[in-house]
Amino acid sequence: MAAHLAASGHTVLAYDPVAECVPEGLTLVDSIEDLAVAPLSISMLPDGPSTHAVVVDGLRAVAVGHVHIVMGTVGPEAVRGIAERAKAEVVDAPVSGSVSMAESASITTMVGSSVAQFEQVRPVLAAMTAAQFHAGPLGSGSAAKLAVNAVLAGLSQAVAEGLVLAEAGGLDPAVFYDILRNSAAGAPYVGYKQQAYLAPETTAVAATVALIRKDLGLALDLAHRHHLDLPGAEAAFGVLEEAVGAGLGRADMAQVLTVLRRRSDVSTHPAIPNDQQMGAHL
């Protein structure tokens, strides 16, 4: 994503203590503090504490008017807490989409900010994303992202359950997946996650089980604070917890399928003979 900023003409300073390679057009700096010379900074970190360390502790020397965009999924409460303590003006703009979509700058971002801040940061976000939505004031972008990922976790669980059910009914998983992808349930996620479900051993990990579990946990924290009952999200979280406990935390989120297969032992179900399948009722 930073490479897209550089390609669009921005001067990009970058800090990453574990970077193995640097995209063309970026200038690596030695510390977070060195980023303070820029008028705008961006972080995309996995949680609130690491984001707090960058924005509050690391960017103490920024000039008045410096804007920091929090693009990681840390939750609305964490974003507001960081904004209260930061010297920079804070905007939250988490993203939704796959790794390949990020590489092609076709992901979506949802922004929590004032209207004026949104207009200020939108050209920068547009260099990295295909769609930019002003969700509302600070924290609204993070709330939108949690709601999106609650749907995503439920969809991931539903696809896995559909595969287990189809296998129990004697269908080849690849055949069923083609049916699913072209059915009324064929959301974009279903299409681009096909190989993650069908051939996980040869498919690059996009979002890990641990990461989506973290995001869904934040979503449920928000729900509980507002006394909401979200049974689907609670069920999906339980399966993700089980997957982490089974050592699948670093696997792709599609591997909730592995948990359901182990629970159900679908391999013990006999396939339906072809003549019986042909006699099924509509």
Give yes or no: 145 in active site: yes
231-245 and 256-264 helices cross at what angle (nearest 10)?
90
Catalytic residue among 87, 145, 193, 214: 145
Which of 73-97 are b and which e, b meaning 16 or more Cβ less than 10 Å from the residue's Cβ? bbbbbbbbbbbeebbbbbbbbbbbb
**Rounded to 5 degrees, what are φ and ψ at 194?**
-55, -50
Q: Where are the alpha helices (DSSP H) in the chain?
A: 2-7, 48-52, 76-85, 99-103, 115-126, 140-168, 173-181, 188-192, 194-198, 209-225, 231-245, 256-264, 274-278
Give me the residue label for tokens 């920024």: 62
Token pair in block for residue 169: 């009914």
CA dihedral 263, 264, 266, 271 (to 10 degrees): 180
Active site residues: 145
